[in-house]
Amino acid sequence: MLGKSYLTKQASLLLEFARTTSDSDLSAKLISKAADLKSLADPLPDKDPDPRAPDVGPSDPAGR
C-alpha cells in the first residue's frame, strides 16, 4: 500500500508540472490526477507504515 506522504508528494509534483506547462489541456489533466491522488491520501493515517514487510523482524547486525 502506498503511504500518505508518497501520494501527497506525487500530487504536489503534478501540480508543479501543471503550473509550468503552457498546454491548458495537459494542465487540466495533471490537476485532475493530483486531485485523484489527494482523495486517495486523505483517508490514510498521517504516519506511513513501516516500509518493511510485516513478516520481517528486526535487523540482525550479523546479517542472519
| pTM of the predicted structure, to 2 decimals | 0.65
- pLDDT, one tens digit per residue, over 5-64 is 888 899 999 999 999 999 999 999 999 999 999 988 877 766 655 666 666 566 656 655
Q: C-alpha distances in angstroms, 60 versus 39, 52, 57, 63?
A: 39, 14, 9, 5
Round to whole Å and give the CA distance between 21 and 19. Answer: 6
